[in-house]
Amino acid sequence: MFLSLVDAHGDVPAVHSMASDTPGSWNRWTYAELGAQTARAAAGYLALGVQRGERVLLMMRNRPDFHWLDLGAQFVRATPVSIYNSSSPEEIQYLSHHAEARIAIVEDLGFLDRMLKVRDELPELQHIFVIEASPDGLPDGVRPVSELLAHGEADLAQLAADTSPDDIATLIYTSGTTGPPKGVMISQYNVVYTVESLKRCIDFDDYVGKRAVSYLPMAHIAERMMSHYQAAILGYSVFCCPDPNQLTSYLREVHPEILFGVPRVWEKVYNGVNAALAADPERKAKFDEGLAAALAIKQAERDGTATQEQLDTWAFLDAVAFSNVRALVGLDAVQVGVTGAAAIPRPVLEWFNAIGVPLSEIYGMSESSGPMTWSPKANRPGSVGQEIPGCEVRIADDGEVICRGGNVFQGYLKQPDKTAETLIDGWLHSGDIGEMDADGYVRIVDRKKELIITSGGKNISPANLEAALKTIPLIGQAAAIGDNRKFCSAILVLDPEAATVWAKAHGRDGVPFAELAGDAEVLAEVQAGVDEINQQFAQVEQIKKFVLLGEEWMPDSDLLTPTSKLKRRGVNARYAAEIESMYAGLD
């Protein structure tokens, strides 16, 4: 399918990287050039004697090289394995050894240094290549990637004819929040099947050349499916953003037409816009008035009851306000906006819909090759959509979300026992508790193993509480506490953008966030937000106490996964003293 794309659309730009010497300008490779680079990578792998099923380790940021190094490995029937760039030497050792990697390709000397620290523990690792390095001074057995690409071009058509749908296209190592990472085996068949399912959901008239930004780790199935597999089959034009913290500037440069973002990405845009508006109370009041009208109009559209007068009203609001906001943040060209990997607060999603960003929630997991449910054309905020085409989704007797279809993975590498626990009679068990309405729309309640059970025996969803708490304007992150406790409490974290604007507006400009978190006025404002949120929940679920922090929680840390999912064990460990202080003498 990739070769067919190259033949038909070879002159279409495939991948881009920002030119380091000229900000705002781009280096680009067309699909024909991507095909040629892939042929060079394949030839290099063949020269090293790479065999079918052999795993090739890739550790690099989002950059064009990834695409041809990954595709080249697939053409020789090897399995490229991307690992998180933040991986410690110990994690690199575990993943490389588990995958039995004989070849590793890293981006720079910083990544190389981490790998070399454990090289003595990796006897099977024979070849290490570095993308950004001079040939001079490299340790024995370490070579510049230019040497890998110096063996001419392999015959990709002949190689493609020898591949099989059963070949493992990649291993996706789970982030390991509940134990050692497991290697999720995703086959060529899984990839092609899933891309077709997503294609039917998206339903563009034409996919070739659609602009997309690649910024999440390629070690995560969402980014790999979004900007690598879909691009290689459907022909997206991918702009590589090497640092997720630069995404907001990339959005303004690229104006993507399709965009996947974890909830935190969308929340930061939402908080940033609202914080900026808050600096001008009169302007904010007018915007909020228009927003309230737009929210009602969009709900009427979803219900099929919108009148022409309402549609005209929204068009007017769009012309005078919403279109300017979309253009300002680089979302004016988005035709499909997607959020997934964790729950997004419903008011945030509805806000984007109201201002004209067609954002919808997707649900799935690495083991389903990414998606399981998604309804971008018939979005219902609060749900994660209906089953995607070709995937059958059900709610098991115990409330667990299960599915089966051609997108379901082939099992965990070397772990048949774990595979048997997850794949039962052909059904993939998600580990999530969900509900399904009469129209087949699924709502995720929480992780099966993460439900808070109070000392009184009440089951409570921390995800629902946390999503609601993050709608408080000053709050960026939230962790609900209450397992085996008499009541629920929360660790709350100030949102940097919102806190900065608040500080300027209240004469606290330049005050450190840690100090702001203890400010009586800030605490009172957050308390008012918590009180308002509590009204949405039953008495036993309400937040009775909270601790406010003035530090930012970063993705891929002991607190958050690379896609900003909460690591509860990490939160409980780091803030054990703060948690105990909320229950001292009471629990």
256 phi and psi, to 5 degrees?
-60, 155
Given a cut of 50, whether residue 587 has pLDDT beyond it is no
The pLDDT of residue 152: 98
The pLDDT of residue 584: 86
Nearest to 159 by CA among 33, 32, 44: 44
Given a cut of 90, whether residue 94 has pLDDT beyond it is yes
Cα distance between residue 201 and residue 373, in whole Å: 10
CA 314, 318, 320 angle in degrees (round to 5)? Answer: 120
- From 175-184, 354-363, 377-386, 512-521, the region with the lowest mean pLDDT: 175-184
Given a cut of 50, whether residue 415 has pLDDT beyond it is yes
Instruction: Tell me the per-residue pLDDT of 448-491, one tens digit each, with 9 for 90 and over.
Output: 777 787 776 767 878 888 988 999 989 999 999 988 888 999 99
34 phi and psi, to 5 degrees?
-65, -40
Nearest to 539 by CA among 467, 476, 466, 454: 454
Cα distance between residue 190 and residue 184, in whole Å: 12
Instruction: Tell me the per-residue pLDDT of 166-225, one tens digit each, with 9 for 90 and over.
Output: 999 999 998 655 567 899 999 999 999 999 999 999 999 999 999 999 999 999 999 999
Q: What mean pLDDT do residues 45-72 have?
A: 98
CA-CA-CA-CA torsion sign (534, 535, 537, 539): positive
Cα distance between residue 563 and residue 263, in whole Å: 9
The pLDDT of residue 86: 85
The pLDDT of residue 178: 53
The pLDDT of residue 418: 93
Are 375 and 360 in contact, with CB atoms under 8 Å apart? yes
Cα distance between residue 101 and residue 140, in whole Å: 18
Report pTM.
0.85
Given a cut of 70, whether residue 237 has pLDDT beyond it is yes
Q: What mean pLDDT do residues 400-416 have?
A: 97
- From 12-16, 293-297, 511-515, the region with the lowest mean pLDDT: 511-515
Amino acid identity of 365? M
The pLDDT of residue 521: 95
The pLDDT of residue 175: 65
Q: What percent of the chain has pLDDT over 90?
A: 80
Instruction: Tell me the per-residue pLDDT of 96-130, one tens digit each, with 9 for 90 and over.
Output: 999 999 999 999 999 999 999 999 999 999 999 99
The pLDDT of residue 226: 96
Neighbours of 293 (CB within 10 A): 16
Computed over every residue of the chain, the mean pLDDT equals 93
Mapped to the 3 state alphabet, what secondary structure does 79-125 carry?
Answer: EEEECCCCCCHHHHHHHHHHHCCCEEEECCHHHHHHHHCCHHHCCCC
Residue 538 tokens read as 């039953």
- From 74-78, 265-269, 321-325, the region with the lowest mean pLDDT: 265-269
Q: What percent of the chain has pLDDT over 70?
A: 98
Q: Which helix (H) or strand (E) holds 514?
A: helix 513-516
Cα distance between residue 476 and residue 490, in whole Å: 13
pLDDT-derived band at 558 (thresholds 50, 70, 90) equals confident
Given a cut of 50, whether residue 568 has pLDDT beyond it is yes
For 109, 119, 176, 180, the CA distances from 90, given in Å and listed in that order, are 17, 10, 14, 12
The pLDDT of residue 586: 62
Q: Which helix (H) or strand (E) holds 291?
A: helix 281-303
Q: List, in order of start, the domains of the chain with CATH numbers.
A: 2-163+205-257 (3.40.50.12780), 263-332+335-447 (3.40.50.12780), 452-583 (3.30.300.30)
